[in-house]
Structure 1
C-alpha cells in the first residue's frame, strides 16, 4: 500500500503515466488517428475541389456574365479541354490506341514548300537543310516532271529561301532564261553570254589568281595556283577539242599548254586567242622542239595545222567573231549569287552551246574552289553554294565531256561544300546516244538523295519504280497529274500544277502542292513570252502560273 506522501509529491503527468496501461494507450492512439482521418476527409481535393469551385463559380455568375458567357441555358458558356498527350511509337506499341492516332508528317526542316495533300500540314524541304540536319547523306536533289507543271517555281522557292539563309546560288547555264528575274530581284549578278553582246576569254583566271595571291599560307597558296593552272589548261583543251570536233592529239595539247604557260607565267596577264595564234605561227624554237620538228618548218606547220584551225574558228575570223577573242566583259564576283544567261545562244548550234556551257560550269567550280581556300586562310566560316542545273537534257546532249563533268560534280560536291539541284522533264531525257552515257546519266538520279516527282506518263518513269520503290498509289498520282490542261475544277484552273511527290530512297513518298505568295509570281512566270501586257486571274489567286 502506497503512502499518501508519495502520491501527493507526484506531478499530474507522472500520475497519468502511472495510471495508463498499454491497452489504454493503444485505445487513445486509435482515437487520435480517427480524428485526423476525419479532418482530412472534410478537406476538398482533386475532382471534388474542382467541382466545388465550378459550383461556386456558377452560383457567382447567376447575376452577371462570366469570362465564358452567361452561366445558364442559352447563355453560351464554354468549357476548356486540355490538349491530350501526344505519343509516338510503332504499330505494335500503340495498337491499343487505334484509331485515335495519326501518322507523323515530315520534319519542319528546310524551305517551306507547300501543303501536304493528305494531312494538310506544312511541308518543308531543300537538299542543303536536310543534309545539314542529317536527314539525307548527300546535298543533292533531282526534279522531274512534264513541262508546265511547276518545276521551276518549286526550285525558285528553295533558291529564294536558301539565299536568305546565306547560301549562294549559282545558275551556271540558264538557257530559257528562268532565273534572271529572280536573281536580279535579289541583287544577284547576271552575266550574259552571246555573240555580239558580250566577251569571255576562256584563259582569263586573273581574278582568281589575284584572290589567291593574298593567301598567307604559302603551301595553300601554291596548291591553289597549281590547281587553277590545271583547270585553266583543261578548260582550254576541252574547248579547242569541241571546235576541232575531235580529241586533241598529245602533241597538240602540249603545244597549247606550253604556249599558255610561256605567255602568262603568273596567271595575271590573260592570253588572247589572236595573240596565241600569232605566237604558234611564229614557229618559236621551244615549240619546234616539243613537236620534234626542230629546224624543219614545213613539218612544224603540218603538225600544228589542226590546232591552228580550231583556234582560228574560235577567234575573231571565225563564226562567233570576238566572243572568245576579247577580254572578259564581266567576271564572277565571289560570294554573290550569279546566273549565266545563255538564252541568246542558238539552240541549233551544238558546238557553241557546248562551249559556253562548259565554260560557265568550269568558271563556277573554279570560283567555289578559290573561295574555299581564301575563307579558310582568313579564318572565316566557309561559304556554301547551291548549283542549279535546269534543262539538264540540254547540258548532257551538248557533248560527252559535259556528261563526265556532271558525273564528277555529283560525286564530289559534298566534299566541296556544294549542294545541287538538277531539273529535267522525264527519265527519257537522260537517254543519250550510247548505253554507257545513258547509264551514267541515270546514275545522277540514283545518287540524288532527294527526288521531287511531278506529273509523269507511265512510259516516262524509266527506272524510277525500281530505284525508289514507287507504290501503285504513287504511280497513279503521277499519271493523274499529267492531265492538267483545259480542265476546270470548281474555280481552280490547272489543279495539278505544283503537285509533287518527295521521295527519299525507298521510303513512302510525301505528296504536296506548292502554293505561291503574290511576291513570287513576277519572278516565276515561265509563260511570260505569251503575255501581251494583260494580267490573268491567276496573278491574284496565289497559285502557280
Structure 2
C-alpha cells in the first residue's frame, strides 16, 4: 500500500489536531531545494549545512540521474544559495558549460582552460602555497606532505593517461624528481623542467633506478616516464595545455568555475586530463587555505567543490579511478565539502571488478545521495547500500520515463520525472522532492537553451511555410 498524502498547516488552520502525535521528518536546514512530493513541505538540504548542523558525518554528496532530468539544475540551486550562507562553490570541471552564467552572476571567477585558452600547471598546487612556510613547524610539515601527495597524484595520472600504469620505480623517480625540481611547491616549474631533471641523471634518481653506473641502464629504466612527459609537453598531442604555468591563479575569496567548454567532446582523453588537473588544483588550493585558517593566518572560509561528469575521468583509463579516489579521499579527510555528479551507476562499472568496486565506493561513502530518474538496470547496488524500499525504487524508475509527444504541438512534453529527486542519507527513508527554481535562477540556468532556440527557429519556419501555403 502506498503512503497516503500528508499535508502541513499552522496550529490555527488545523486546530483540534495540534499538538501532533508525530513530528516532521524533514529538517528545515540548508538550501531550500523545492517541495516534498508527499507532504508539499519545503525540503532544505546541502552537504555543507547538514554537516555543520551535525545531521551527517562528512560534507560529501553524490548526484545520480539520467541526462536531462535536472541534475545540473539541482546543483546550480545549491551553488546559487550557498554564498548567502557564507559557503563558496567551486566548480572544478564545467564541460558544457552549465555554470558559467551563474558564477558570473555571483560576481565569481570563470577560468577558461583548454586548447587556445588558459592553462593550469599540473605542478601547481594552488595560489597559497607560498605562504605554507608561515605555518608552525608541525602543521607546516603536514601541509607540505599533503600538497606534495596531491602534486604527485595528478602528474602520475597524466603520465598514465598518456600510456600505461607506471611501475613502482617509475613512480619513485617521478616523486623524487618533483621534489628536486620544485622543493618549495612554488608552481613555477613546468613539465619540461621535470623532464630535463630526469634526463640530467642526478645521483638521487640514479640510486632509485639502480643504474649500476651504466648510462644505458638509466635510460632504459626511465624511458617510459620520459616518453609520457614528452606527450604532455608543448610538442605533444595536447599542445601547451599541460605544458605552461598557470595563466590565471584561482581566487579563494569568491565562487569559481573552470570552464572547459573549449575542448571538443570527441577529445575525451584531453577532457579527462583537464578534469584531473583542475580537480587537484582546486582541491589543493582549498586545502592550503584551510591549513592557513587553522593557524590563524588567513580568514576561515567554507567551500563546496563540485566535480561534474565523473564518468568521463573514470572511463578514460582503468587506473584513473585510483587518481580520483586519492583526491576525494584527501578532501574527506580534510573535511572539504564535495559534490560528485554522474548519470547512472553504469557509469561506474569499469573494466575490472576491483576498479568497479572502488568507483561504487564513491557513492557508498557519500553522506548524501540525490537520486534522479534511473532505470532498474542502472541502479547497481543502490538498493542494498541504502536500504531502498520497493516504493522508492518504483519512484526512481517511474521518473526515468521519457516525455510523450503532444499531438497538438508536435513537441515532446517534459519527462514526468524531470526535477524529481530522492534524497537518501544512509538507510533512512528517502525524502522525495521536486526542485523548484525562481525566475532569476531559470533565467541563468537553462542548459538546453541552444536546443530550445533551434526548436523555436524550426517552429517559426513551419509557421511561415504554413502561412505562405495558405
Instruction: Tell me the TM-score range normalised by the shorter chain.
Output: 0.7 to 0.9
CA contact (8 A) 1:455 1:479 kept: yes
Aligned to 2:42: 122
1:512 aligns with 2:433: yes
1:499 aligns with 2:420: yes
- 1:292 positional shift: 3.9
Aligned to 2:90: 170
CA contact (8 A) 1:144 1:151 kept: yes
Change (3 A) 1:411 1:293: closer
State the Cα deviation string for residues 469-503 of structure 1 (Å, max 9, x = none).
33333333223323341356999952532122222
- 1:105 positional shift: 4.8
State the Cα deviation string for residues 334-393 of structure 1 (Å, max 9, x = none).
233222222333444444333222211211221122111111222666322212122221
1:87 aligns with 2:19: yes
Change (3 A) 1:388 1:489: farther
Aligned to 1:527: 448
1:464 aligns with 2:382: yes
- 1:240 positional shift: 2.2
1:435 aligns with 2:353: yes
- 1:531 positional shift: 3.8
1:366 aligns with 2:284: yes
Aligned to 1:383: 301
Which of 340, 354, 357 is the matching residue for 2:272? Answer: 354
Change (3 A) 1:179 1:238: same
Aligned to 1:244: 163
Q: Using the alignment, how far apart are the partners of 1:287 and 1:105 within structure 2? A: 60
Change (3 A) 1:201 1:126: closer
Which of 387, 398, 402 is the matching residue for 1:480? Answer: 398
Please state whether the residue corresponding to 1:326 is helix, strand or coil: coil
Q: Using the alignment, how far apart are the partners of 1:406 and 1:285 within structure 2? A: 32
CA contact (8 A) 1:131 1:137 kept: yes
- 1:415 positional shift: 4.1
Moved more, 267-276 or 108-117: 267-276
Aligned to 2:7: none
Aligned to 1:71: none
Please state whether the residue corresponding to 1:532 is helix, strand or coil: helix
Q: Greater relative contact order: 1 or 2 (C-alpha under 8 angstroms, separation 6 or more)?
A: 2
Q: Using the alignment, how far apart are the partners of 1:144 and 1:366 within structure 2? A: 26
Please state whether the residue corresponding to 2:128 is helix, strand or coil: helix
CA contact (8 A) 1:272 1:327 kept: yes
Q: Using the alignment, how far apart are the partners of 1:519 and 1:206 within structure 2? A: 33
- Structure 2: gaps (5+ residues): 1-11, 458-470
Q: CA RMSD in A?
A: 3.1
CA contact (8 A) 1:205 1:270 kept: no
Please state whether the residue corresponding to 1:332 is helix, strand or coil: coil
Q: Using the alignment, how far apart are the partners of 2:25 and 2:115 within structure 1? A: 50
- 1:277 positional shift: 3.5
Change (3 A) 1:376 1:246: closer
Change (3 A) 1:453 1:254: closer
- 1:200 positional shift: 2.9
CA contact (8 A) 1:112 1:125 kept: yes
Which of 103, 110, 116 is the matching residue for 1:196? Answer: 116
Q: Using the alignment, how far apart are the partners of 2:55 and 2:420 within structure 1? A: 22
Q: Using the alignment, how far apart are the partners of 1:459 and 1:113 within structure 2? A: 28
Q: Using the alignment, how far apart are the partners of 2:358 and 2:92 within structure 1? A: 21
- 1:83 positional shift: 4.1
Aligned to 1:156: 76
CA contact (8 A) 2:92 2:278 kept: yes
The within-5 A match list for 1:64-143 is 83-84=15-16, 86-89=18-21, 104-143=24-63
The within-5 A match list for 1:14-93 is 83-84=15-16, 86-89=18-21
Moved more, 103-112 or 160-169: 103-112
1:335 aligns with 2:223: no
Q: Using the alignment, how far apart are the partners of 1:447 and 1:344 within structure 2? A: 33
CA contact (8 A) 2:280 2:327 kept: no
TM-score, normalised to structure 2, is 0.83
CA contact (8 A) 2:153 2:326 kept: no
Please state whether the residue corresponding to 1:123 is helix, strand or coil: strand
- 1:257 positional shift: 3.8
Aligned to 1:187: 107
Q: Using the alignment, how far apart are the partners of 1:205 and 1:411 within structure 2? A: 17
